[in-house]
């Protein structure tokens, strides 16, 4: 935004100034409608309106389970952040192929509050502004680039041994020692990443992330003397990774549930681990009625 900010400007004045600068050439009536939508986002946020709810996630899961990516145009009707229906187009960056699958993206509040330039403000533009969900179609990795479960079984075993010798290994222990663990009934992980992403890096981050999650689960089970299920949500999990993860007790969310079910299952008795998740995990949790007992999130840990 060019120029200086007038300290007497109201939020509405600022939105209009941003619109004037970001949307040159937009017809006056479209600029007014776009401004109303942007002011609506600010108002909903200031009023504490949750942008993420369990009902919205259940609706998304239902729509994705029956989505036909071959349809032209490929669109989905969802709920906007104001509760009104919006129609969202599914992005295709290449011609449709039968093995394509949907990928869910999120727009955090900080992204939503930015002005999106539309030459003409129509229903499509309004729906884009008022929805914090993005959808696109992606193709699975080529079979030639995939390693089988036997390969990852060996690599994961090495990662577990290596994690036990890693100086960071004791951090989860020190975190849990400071927390009340008696009420925890499950662990839900986000963003641990599929093993195959480690093939592109010299650091086996995904393998180490899962080894760390397994350490947390084992310590919880030892301290509470009860079985605590360990769930993990990450849409790109390949078959080889999923097969290996079942052996030490990971439960992988699959099908349409792999996008949203982990969030839906969070309650006040949950320990949440979020590592490099593409979803705004903390923002989603804040909007939910139930907060997890413990959140370990990209270097942030503690009781909630």
In this predicted structure, the answer to whether residue 271 has a pLDDT above a threshold of 60 is yes
Say whether both 77 and 110 belong to one domain.
yes
Answer yes or no: is 1 within a domain. Answer: no
- Give me the chain's average pLDDT, please: 82
Task: Report the pLDDT value the prediction gives residue 198, as an integer from 0 to 100.
Answer: 81
Say whether both 133 and 237 belong to one domain.
no
Say whether both 52 and 160 belong to one domain.
no
Q: What is the mean pLDDT of residues 178-183?
A: 89
In this predicted structure, the answer to whether residue 17 has a pLDDT above a threshold of 60 is no
Q: What residue spans of 5-140 are helical by DSSP H?
A: 11-22, 28-46, 54-65, 109-112, 123-130
Answer yes or no: is 21 within a domain. Answer: yes
Listed in order, strand segments (DSSP E) in the chain are 75-79, 85-89, 91-92, 101-106, 133-138, 186-190, 230-233, 250-252, 270-274, 294-297, 300-303
Answer yes or no: is 5 within a domain. Answer: no
In this predicted structure, the answer to whether residue 284 has a pLDDT above a threshold of 70 is yes
Say whether both 132 and 278 belong to one domain.
no
Helix (H, G, I), strand (E, B) or coil at 296: strand
Which of residues 113, 138, 163 is at a domain's end?
Answer: 138
Q: How confident is the model at residue 75 (pLDDT cuts 50, 70, 90)?
A: very high
Answer with the residue of higher pLDDT: 173 or 86: 86
pTM for the complete prediction? 0.82
Provide the domain limits for residue 53. 11-138
Q: How confident is the model at residue 116 (pLDDT cuts 50, 70, 90)?
A: low
Asked if residue 90 lies in contact with residue 67, where contact means CB atoms within 8 angstroms, the answer is: yes
Say whether both 52 and 185 belong to one domain.
no
In this predicted structure, the answer to whether residue 173 has a pLDDT above a threshold of 90 is no
Say whether both 104 and 206 belong to one domain.
no
Answer with the residue of higher pLDDT: 100 or 28: 100
Which of residues 88, 106, 138 is at a domain's end?
Answer: 138
Strand partners, 274: 190, 297
Listed in order, strand segments (DSSP E) in 139-228 are 186-190
User: Rounded CA gap, 297 and 290, in Å?
Assistant: 17
Which of residues 100, 122, 138 is at a domain's end?
Answer: 138
Say whether both 290 and 152 belong to one domain.
yes
Answer yes or no: is 28 within a domain. Answer: yes
Q: How confident is the model at residue 14 (pLDDT cuts 50, 70, 90)?
A: very low
Task: Report the pLDDT value the prediction gives residue 301, as an integer from 0 to 100.
Answer: 39
- Residues 6 or more apart whose CB falls under 8 angstroms from that of 271 comprise 184, 186, 187, 188, 216, 220, 292, 293, 294, 295, 296
Answer yes or no: is 96 within a domain. Answer: yes
For the chain, how many structural domains are there in total? 2
């Amino acid at each position: 935004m060019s120029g200086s900010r007038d300290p007497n400007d109201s939020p509405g004045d600022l939105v209009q100034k941003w619109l004037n600068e970001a949307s040159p050439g937009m017809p006056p009536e479209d600029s007014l409608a776009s401004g109303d939508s942007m002011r609506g986002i600010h108002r909903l946020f200031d009023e504490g309106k949750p942008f993420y709810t369990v009902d919205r996630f259940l609706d998304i899961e239902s729509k994705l389970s029956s989505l036909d990516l071959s349809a032209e145009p490929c669109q989905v009707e969802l709920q906007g952040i104001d509760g009104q229906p919006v129609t969202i187009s599914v992005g295709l960056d290449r011609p449709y192929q039968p093995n394509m699958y949907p990928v869910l993206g999120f727009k955090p509040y900080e992204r939503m509050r930015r002005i999106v330039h539309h030459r003409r403000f129509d229903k499509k533009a309004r729906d884009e502004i008022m929805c914090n969900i993005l959808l696109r179609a992606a193709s699975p990795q080529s079979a030639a680039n995939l390693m089988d479960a036997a390969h990852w079984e060996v690599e994961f075993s090495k990662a577990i041994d290596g994690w036990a010798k890693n100086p960071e290994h004791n951090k989860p222990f020190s975190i849990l020692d400071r927390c009340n663990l008696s009420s925890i009934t499950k662990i839900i992980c986000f963003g641990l990443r599929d093993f195959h992403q480690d093939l592109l890096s010299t650091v086996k981050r995904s393998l180490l992330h899962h080894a760390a999650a397994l350490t947390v689960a084992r310590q919880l089970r030892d301290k509470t003397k009860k079985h605590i299920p360990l769930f993990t949500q990450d849409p790109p999990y390949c078959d080889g990774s999923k097969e290996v993860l079942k052996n030490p007790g990971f439960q992988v969310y699959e099908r349409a549930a792999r996008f949203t079910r982990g969030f839906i299952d969070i309650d006040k008795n949950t320990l949440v681990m979020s590592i490099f998740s593409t979803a705004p995990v903390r923002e989603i949790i804040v909007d939910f009625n139930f907060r997890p007992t413990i959140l370990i999130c990209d270097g942030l840990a503690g009781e909630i």
